[in-house]
Structure 1
Amino acid sequence: MRIVLAGTGSAVGKTTISTGIMKALSAEMNVQPFKVGPDYIDPSYHTLATRNPSRNLDSFFMNDDQIKKSFVRGLDLANADIGIIEGVRGLYEGISPIGDVGNTASIAKALNAPVILIMDGRSLVKSAAAVVLGFKTLDPEVKIEGVILNKIKGKRHFLKAKKAIETLTNTRVIGGIPRDDALTVNERHLGLVPALERERIAINIDIWSKVVEEYIDLDALKEIAKSQGKITKSNKNNNCDENIDNNIATKYNNLNNGNNNEDIRDNIRNNENSTELWKIANKNKVKIGVARDEIFSFYYQENLESLEDNNAKIILFSPYKDEEIPDVDALYIGGGYPEIFKKELENNETMRKSINDFHRDENPIYAECGGLIYLSQSIDDVKMCNVLPYNSIMTDKVQGLSYVIAKSNEDNLISQKGEVFRGHEFHYTKLLVDDVQSNFVFDIQRGRGILNNKDGLAINNTLANYIHIHACSCPNFAYNFTKNVSEL
């Protein structure tokens, strides 16, 4: 069983409703959550709701075969009964105004998954039917099988809108949620507050779940989730379109019908020509310390698993709470909010010193975005690890918000010269680098990077960049990292 929960746009309640549905269904079945797009925060809510790590699906990072394999792999690892996929922004919003790369529709089509459309129903009755009809007509390959109306005024309003949609669009309305301040979440400059940082969010998720149980027909949702058949191999690799930035629409083949998860999984496992998720080749055992706590929480689950597949033992530590790094061969410091917790990080002098000593001993360190800032000399004059010889500042506007395509201009910790890979950047901080001669190992072909379309500062065996990488978008990442660590 599988279902995509997509919005007509941003801020229609996708995250609260999707998380509530995941929590409610988890009481009776094993739910594997997914999130479309480059997002760390919504998945943290999903994980709390289901107790299964949420996984990202993204047609910029993945070709169709990787999307299918990643989805089925997630179901298998959790032994899940259903896969629930929360979309990103509006159903059709992606890189191009006419194409599919990076949007929710591309995931729904790759997985042959039915879609439930979530829309803000305020003041809409017959016009709600026009909205649904427009979404269904735009791309008939996207199978919109149900609608959830949010922010409904009352029962009378709901019944009128329901009648309009079902009569005029032949689409089931499976829920109408009244306007309620309880169905909101706090936000900050990078989006919703991550669940890992706020344990009390679990209380909110319980509230969302109760609202969902009262106002959404979950039996109808499960019926729709069972309605589609096999996921079949597509002939076109949507991630190989070299002209994605030229607004070329991505085409997809029609997918066959069938009706069960085991058929889906067998179909993919028997696909000998499909693309692998990532390279698995390192045979030597390594220990990698991963900074993970309330401050550093931005990791794709697949990144950690791809390292484990390459013989890495992951050892978690907290730059905030622990006195020093653990006994490891390398460090991986992901993204997060060091700019919000800069004083707490500064106060942990022993941890900052142990990381600096680790670097000076030329041990491997890989850092992304927030990790990059933590390795700088300071942020807003508050001391950080002083691994990178530059200061950093917090700004009041986005410094980088984009999908990224990068090319390695020399061999480095995670890639080899000439490799092209994809990622994303999203940050308000700025690393104050004014030296164009600094050792940048990535040339940015799409995006901004640290300075002048350059990213990836390499100093000793430390590599730090603003780019966030997903293992499927850089399939040699884990192999290169573990191999380079094991050879030292």
Structure 2
Amino acid sequence: MSTAHCPALLVTAPASGQGKTTITAGLARHHRRLGRRVRVFKVGPDFLDPMILERASGAPVYSLDLWMVGEDACSAMLADAAADADLILVEGVMGLYDGTPSSADIAARFNIPVMPVISAKAMAQTFGAVATGLAHYRPGLPFHGVFANRVGSPHHATMLRESLPLGMRWAGHVAAEGDIELPDRHLGLFQASEIADLDRRLDLAADALSGQPIVELPAPVEFRAEPMPKLRRTLEGKRIAVARDAAFSFVYPANLDLLVSLGAELRGFSPLADEAVPDADALYLPGGYPELHAARLTGNRRSAEAIRGLIDAGKPVLAECGGMLYLMEHLTDQQGETFPMLGVLPGHATMQRRLAALGMQQLDTAHGALTGHCFHYSKIETPLTPRLRALHPLRGSPGEALHQQGSVTATYMHGYWPSNPAFITAIFNGQAV
């Protein structure tokens, strides 16, 4: 059993869109500028917020989820971070009590104090009612205080503060400032690499928080964890090419860590920059935004030919979500324009303006269960018969299909690979699943 103590805070909200990523990132940047070692985690399956939080904190951001990641793995990551950090920040997902499991479940399990960020735009004394409900809806939940975002004036801030019940900590406020707000689109926030002035925005957010009670270090939390099982190096010497750019960026750091722990050597390349696939034994095409870069990808022949050559040679390929769309014959974007893709998999992908699928997924394989999630606005039409089909873990309803054709494995599901190292080993070793 390892034990470590570290100040920790879970930044949450009553709903999405309240500005909790901006405040968490500003808080991380503030403490980092003071020379503190800050580790940030994100509750739930998310790729976009962690990119912002990594830029703010200077360290990779890992997912915490009691189902997808698992309680033991969450405990181990938090204990490891506590042994090395001066502050742990956890950004919640959606509203504090939303989802099963929820951000509140993480806070309760690890005794991390909760601080809601509430957008006070068009709100006055109701601010206190919302804060009171969040604090007391679940008895015994550790509660740090409440922070007001998008405040209109000093008088507005005074009204908000005076609306809080006696004994509830006021953590401060920031005004409604466009310069610190983070831009978003259909899947969430823009990627960190796409926001040209991101560091300026993060510094402005840190400046806005400076001097507010929120920047005071919270009380230390004790984190305890049992040692995680040691992995066998089942991918020893395997060279795996990984597509990494603005079109293929939805990658869990824990997934890449797993490949390295299994003995693989990772070699990055950019299809968007028309780079050839590095000399490799296998290929990973993550999800991302191929639909936003379809015209450029269509014209990039060097990457396309290299990927087709690798597949023709029978080398294993794992393509998730956007990576799968790139392998289809055609892709139609939200404006209705159709672009030829690689044509490795038969079928057509079409972007739509409505969400097509969202939720946790469990894929039961010959090697055990793989956990993960899906989140996409596209649909595919393909003659392929699914090799496997995931299930929604709570409803038990059918989930995403997993297709296999030759050496290619493709699915909309974003797998959390540490949940099933044997399955990932089989994929990249070209074995049956």
Normalising to structure 2: TM-score of the pair? 0.90
Change in 2 beyond 3 A, CA 1:427/1:141: same
Change in 2 beyond 3 A, CA 1:107/1:288: same
Matches within 5 A, 1:362-441: 362-380=314-332, 381-408=338-365, 416=367, 419-434=368-383, 438-441=385-388
1: CA distance between counterparts of 2:204 and 2:252? Answer: 27
AA paired with 1:385?
A: L
Matches within 5 A, 1:74-153: 74-75=81-82, 79-95=84-100, 101=101, 103-153=102-152
Partner in structure 2 of residue 333 of structure 1: 285
Partner in structure 2 of residue 217 of structure 1: 213
Matches within 5 A, 1:50-449: 50-75=57-82, 79-95=84-100, 101=101, 103-165=102-164, 168-213=165-210, 216-220=212-216, 222=217, 225=218, 227-231=219-223, 267-268=224-225, 271=226, 276=229, 279-282=231-234, 284-380=236-332, 381-408=338-365, 416=367, 419-434=368-383, 438-446=385-393
Cα deviation per residue 1:260-315 (whole Å; 9 max; x = unaligned)?
A: xxxxxxx42xx36xx65x85441621111110012111000000001100001111
Change in 2 beyond 3 A, CA 1:74/1:302: farther
Q: Secondary structure at the match of 2:295?
A: helix
Q: Secondary structure at the match of 1:396?
A: coil
Change in 2 beyond 3 A, CA 1:377/1:485: same
Do the aligned residues in 1 keep the contact of 2:27 with 2:215 (CA within 8 Å)? no
| Structure 1 portions without partners, runs of 5+ | 96-100, 232-266
Change in 2 beyond 3 A, CA 1:207/1:365: same
| Structure 2 portions without partners, runs of 5+ | 1-6, 333-337
Q: Secondary structure at the match of 1:185?
A: coil
AA paired with 2:78?
A: F
How far did 1:60 drift? 2.6
Partner in structure 2 of residue 18 of structure 1: 24
Do the aligned residues in 2 keep the contact of 1:279 with 1:478 (CA within 8 Å)? no
Matches within 5 A, 1:457-468: 457-468=403-414
**How many pairs does the alignment contain?**
420
1: CA distance between counterparts of 2:300 and 2:91? Answer: 37
1: CA distance between counterparts of 2:69 and 2:275? Answer: 39
Q: Secondary structure at the match of 1:340?
A: helix
Q: Secondary structure at the match of 1:90?
A: coil
Do the aligned residues in 2 keep the contact of 1:125 with 1:161 (CA within 8 Å)? yes
Cα deviation per residue 1:167-186 (whole Å; 9 max; x = unaligned)?
A: x2411111111222223222
How far did 1:372 drift? 0.5
Q: Secondary structure at the match of 1:89?
A: coil
- Which shifted more, 311-320 or 132-141? 132-141
Normalising to structure 1: TM-score of the pair? 0.80
How far did 1:406 drift? 2.1
RMSD of aligned Cα (Å): 2.5
Change in 2 beyond 3 A, CA 1:122/1:351: closer
Give the share of equivalent positions with the same residue, in percent: 27
2: CA distance between counterparts of 1:57 and 1:453? Answer: 22
Partner in structure 2 of residue 455 of structure 1: 401
Cα deviation per residue 1:14-34 (whole Å; 9 max; x = unaligned)?
A: 111111111111111111111
Partner in structure 1 of residue 3 of structure 2: none
How far did 1:219 drift? 4.4
2: CA distance between counterparts of 1:486 and 1:445? Answer: 26
Change in 2 beyond 3 A, CA 1:281/1:110: farther
How far did 1:477 drift? 4.3
